[in-house]
Amino acid sequence: MRLSRDIALIGAGMTRFHHRIHEDKTGRELFVEAALEAKGSVDDGIDFDDVEALYLGNFSSDAFERQAHTAALSADWLGITPIPATRVEDACASSGVAINIGAMAIASGAYDVVMVGGVEKMRGLSTGGVTDTLAMAADAVYEVGAGFTFPGLYAAIATAHFAELGSSWEQLAAITVKNHKNGALNPKAHFQSEIMETAKRLGERKNMTFDDELDFLRSSLNPVVAHPLRLFDCCPISDGSAVIILAAGDVAKKYTDTPVYLRGIGQASDAMALHDREDITTLRATKLAASQAYKGARVGPGDIDVADVHDCFTIAELLATEDLGFFPKGKGGEAAAEGRTALDGDVAINPDGGLKAKGHPVGATGVAMAYEMFKQLRGEAGGHQVSDVRYGLVHNVGASGATVAVQVYGR
Amino acid sequence: MEFTSKAYFDFIGEGKIMGTRCKACGDASLPPRPVCKECGSVELDWEEFAGRGEVRAFSVINVPLSRMEGRCPYAVGVVRLDEGPSVSGLILDVKDGGELSVGSRVEAEYVKEGEKTALCFRLVR
């Protein structure tokens, strides 16, 4: 989709994603922390009075914190009322969709500057409670009612991909290893250690040693969550928030000489239940959203240097790299195992560690991906900077693929 | 009778798998839907499905929903019925991923859980 005005990303901030350090904070407090960092990142400064609207991605503060109505509450706590504040809920794609809505609000001429945020405070619930809450993003009657958990749905996708396209769990393990390696270079990541480091630490407690990554990932310290996916195939349960500030191209220069531009956006929906999809091994909504975003940006998959894709499970990254057109169908696993998605690969996938290592506070994820593109395209990503980035792509998936939002960013 | 989840589960309680067939384009849908997902027609008939099919995708769950606690590991799958549409359901008495394959043949079994009846499947050995 091509927007009728240029849209610039002029600032970005995020909390670290983590399970423990935010224990004493509520969602609104995490949002404020991210928003203040976003404000501080605007090169020539910005007054919050310039912000004309807030769009906030938030999946389920209702269940996690017994708190609904989080957009107005967040605006209130940041001191930016009385601007319109709107919550966006599309499961794990909530804030990726919020970015598109913010961009369209500017393109419509209604506003020149908007704030887009995402927040999730998940750790107030037990693992069982989180499992129940995440499952609300799937078809509650016909999938969850039938016994599927959320990891179970992606596990089922994996069994179909293995059987139909010949990929393997070992290829998924390569994605785990790569994303933890990247996460170790990202000070905002939930997990900041490479797999062998983790293996050593966990092994010491149990008097176990491991020859290599696969030896550890096949061990009892990496239990099966939902066959064929093990614990280290799944993203952790994290708390966090991320915030970006978008401005119309014609006012962006007031705030910075080096904005990042949102060149194309896309969004699509699909049948909610896996059983209603003709092809279980492809997320059709990813293909459609990506094709809109590529068209808007006038680029193709081969032009993308770096991408944050939605790896809530390792199999989801494999699918994404195929459905976004980086690799042919059935070759995504092979590409990962060959290192073609590493920081110095053909296309750097999830240089920030991805959901797998960076963490996945559900509603914050889409904006946290935009934060990463802001850093990558300005050459400010530090230890996990990809070289010569011209175009970056963000791919944010709701649940098992019923919602997908894609953005292409450029300089 | 309206094409609702209530009607669907009432039929399951009687041991019948009932979905819809579109009078306009002939597309079959399971569970029943009020609007044909292929052509948008609202002219639909009830259609009974025999309950035999094959596994398209599956998992064996070790970290359960809270209502399934104490029942792990259990298998759940996407089953394509021989008439075409697919449905999700438990695959009974499977405890390990190695016991099941994509393509395994299964048949329906109706399991009473309190007031409700669930559509489940069992491997055809």
Q: A141, B86: Cβ pair inside 8 Å?
A: no
Q: Crossing angle of helices A150-165/A169-183, nearest 10°?
A: 120
DSSP B37-80: TTT----EEEEEE--EEEEEEEEEESS--GGGTT--SEEEEEEE
**Please, are residues A313 and A234 in contact by the beta-carbon 8 Å criterion?**
yes
- Distance (Å) of CA A13 to CA A112, A124, A135, A259: 20, 23, 29, 14
Nearest CA in chain B to A152: B59
Q: H helices within A109-194, ranges in order?
A: 127-135, 150-165, 169-183
Task: Tell me which residue has tokens 């699918």.
Answer: A319
Q: What are the pLDDT tens digits along chain B (125 aa)? A: 999 999 999 999 999 999 999 999 999 999 999 999 999 999 999 999 999 999 999 999 999 888 888 899 999 999 999 999 999 999 999 999 999 999 999 999 999 988 899 999 999 98
How far lies A85's CA from each of A63, A73, A269, in Å? 21, 9, 24
Mean pLDDT of successive 10-residue segments in chain A (411 residues)? 90 97 96 98 98 98 96 98 98 98 97 98 90 92 94 98 98 98 98 98 96 98 97 97 98 97 98 96 98 98 98 98 98 98 98 98 98 98 97 98 98 94
- B12: contact with A, CB 8 A cutoff: no
| Closest chain A residue to the Cα of B55, Cα to Cα | A160
Contact between chains at A228 and B64 (C-beta distance less than 8 A): no
Domains of chain A: 7-125+240-410 (3.40.47.10)
ipTM of the complex: 0.97
B90·A276 Cβ contact <8 A: no
The verdict on whether A92 is a catalytic residue reads yes
B4 has a chain A CB within 8 A of its CB: no
Distance between CA atoms of residues A372 and A380, nearest Å: 9
Output DSSP code: residue A273. S
A276 in contact with chain B, both atoms CB, cutoff 8 A: yes
Tokens of B112: 């009473």
Choose, from A22, A92, A180, A190, the residue flagged as catalytic.
Answer: A92
Q: Which residue of A has its CA nearest to B119?
A: A146
Q: Residue B37's pLDDT is what? A: 92
Residue type present at position A366: G
Determine whether the interchain pair B87/A275 forms a contact, defined as Cβ–Cβ distance below 8 Å. Answer: yes
Check CB contact of A165 with chain B, cutoff 8 Å. Answer: no
Does the beta-carbon distance from B69 to A280 stay under 8 Å?
A: no
Q: Which of B31, B61, B86 sits opposite A152 (nearest CB)?
A: B61
| Dist. CA A274–CA A330, nearest whole Å | 19
A360 classed as catalytic: yes
- Number of neighbours of residue B10 by Cβ within 10 angstroms: 14
Identify the residue among B62, B72, B87 best suited for mutation to test binding to A, counting A beta carbons within 10 A and taking the highest.
B62
Q: What is the pLDDT of residue B115?
A: 87
B110 interfacial to chain A (CB closer than 8 Å): no
Residue B59: which of A223, A226, A280 has the nearest Cβ?
A226
Would you tell me how many other CB atoms lie within 10 Å of the CB of residue B16? 16
pLDDT for residue A127: 86
Do A400 and A154 form a contact (C-beta atoms < 8 A)? yes
For residue A147, list chain B residues with Cβ-Cβ distance below 8 A.
Answer: 61, 65, 68, 74, 76, 88-90
Query: Could you tell me the two tokens for A285?
Result: 């909504």
Whether residue A157 and residue B68 make contact (CB cut-off 8 A), yes or no, is no
Do A333 and A160 meet the contact criterion of CB atoms below 8 Å apart? no
Domain assignments of chain B as residue spans, ordered by start: 5-49, 52-123
CB–CB contacts below 8 A, A to B: 109
Interface contact flag, B78 A280, Cβ < 8 Å: yes
* Contact criterion met (CB < 8 Å) for A228 and B5: no
| Residue tagged active-site, from A22, A190, A310, A360 | A360
DSSP 3-state of A101: helix
Q: Give the nearest chain A residue to B94 (CA atoms).
A: A227
Which A residues 83-142 touch B at CB under 8 Å? 127-129, 131-132, 135, 141-142
Inter-chain residue contact A142 with B102, CB threshold 8 Å:
no
